[in-house]
Amino acid sequence: MSYEEDYRQPYTAVCACGKGKLRYYQISASNDWGQEKEYDTEVEILCDCCRDRYHIEHTSFGEKLLVPNELSLPAPVPALDYKYRYSSDEEFIGKYNKAVIEAMIADMTAPKHRFIKDLTFAPAFAYANEWVSRYKKKSLDPMIRNLRRIHAQYDEIDTSRKIKTPRIEAYEKRVAERTQEAINVERQSFRPSFTYDALQDKLDHEKARKEQEEYNEAHKYDPFDAWVTYHDSYKVDATGRYWDSLQIVKCVDPQYLILEKPQYGSASITIVKKYLCKCTICGKELIADSSGFEIQYDEDKGFYPVLQCDCHNVSSFEAKTMDILNGLGISYAREVSFDGLIGDSGFPLRFDFALYDQKTENTTYRLLLELQGPHHYKLGYYNEFGEFIEQRSTTTREKLTRQVNYDDRKKAFCEKKGIPLEVIKYTAGNSYEQLERIISSILEKHEFIDEDDDIPF
As a whole number of angstroms, the longest Cα–Cα distance in the chain is 121
How far apart CA 291 and CA 354 sit, in angstroms, is 23
In a domain, 299, yes or no: no
Boundary of a domain, candidates 292, 327, 349: 292
| Domain match, 109 and 158 both | yes
CB atoms within 10 A of CB 193: 8
In a domain, 187, yes or no: no
Domain count across the chain: 4
Q: What are phi and psi of 10, to 5 degrees?
A: -85, 140
In a domain, 420, yes or no: yes
Among candidate residues 193, 246, 235, the one with its CA nearest the CA of residue 66: 193
Among candidate residues 202, 203, 197, 186, the one with its CA nearest the CA of residue 24: 197
| Domain match, 52 and 197 both | yes
How far apart CA 8 and CA 205 sit, in angstroms, is 10
Q: What pairing do the DSSP bridges indicate for beta strands 54-58 and 421-425?
A: unpaired
In a domain, 163, yes or no: yes
| Domain match, 386 and 408 both | yes
| Domain match, 12 and 140 both | no
| Domain match, 144 and 39 both | no
How far apart CA 174 and CA 267 sit, in angstroms, is 66
| Domain match, 342 and 440 both | yes
Among candidate residues 420, 441, 304, the one with its CA nearest the CA of residue 369: 420
Provide DSSP, 116-159. Answer: GGG--SHHHHHHHHHHHHHH----HHHHHHHHHHHHHTHHHHHH
Express each pLDDT in 205-250 by its tens digit. 999 999 999 998 998 888 888 999 999 889 888 898 889 989 999 9
Give the residues across from 286 on adjacent strands. 277
Provide DSSP, 387-443. Answer: -EEE--SHHHHHHHHHHHHHHHHHHHHHHHHT--EEEEEGGGGG-HHHHHHHHHHHH
Q: Taking each helix axis as running N to C, give the angle between helix 122-135 and helix 140-152, from 0 to 180 degrees, rounded to the nearest 10.
A: 110
What one-character DSSP code corresponds to residue 216?
A: H
Write down the pTM of the prediction.
Answer: 0.55
Q: Mean pLDDT per segment of 10 residues, for the chain of length 457 residues?
A: 89 94 96 91 94 93 93 93 93 94 94 91 94 92 94 95 94 94 95 96 96 90 90 89 91 93 86 94 92 90 90 90 89 89 89 78 79 86 78 87 91 92 86 91 83 52
| Domain match, 134 and 13 both | no
Boundary of a domain, candidates 207, 233, 254: 207
In a domain, 180, yes or no: no
In a domain, 178, yes or no: no
In a domain, 229, yes or no: yes
Q: What pairing do the DSSP bridges indicate for beta strands 302-305 and 295-298?
A: antiparallel
| Domain match, 236 and 197 both | no
| Domain match, 270 and 323 both | no
| Domain match, 346 and 406 both | yes
Sort 323 into a burial class: Cβ within 10 Å, 0-12 / 13-18 / 19+: buried
Express each pLDDT in 295-333 by its tens digit. 999 888 889 999 999 998 898 899 999 999 988 888 888
How far apart CA 183 and CA 62 sit, in angstroms, is 14
Whole domain around residue 156: which residue ranges?
Answer: 82-173
How far apart CA 198 and CA 88 sit, in angstroms, is 52
| Domain match, 52 and 101 both | no
Distances, alpha carbon 242 to alpha carbons 79, 255, 334, in Å? 83, 20, 8
In a domain, 341, yes or no: yes
Q: What pairing do the DSSP bridges indicate for beta strands 367-372 and 348-356?
A: antiparallel
| Domain match, 379 and 319 both | yes
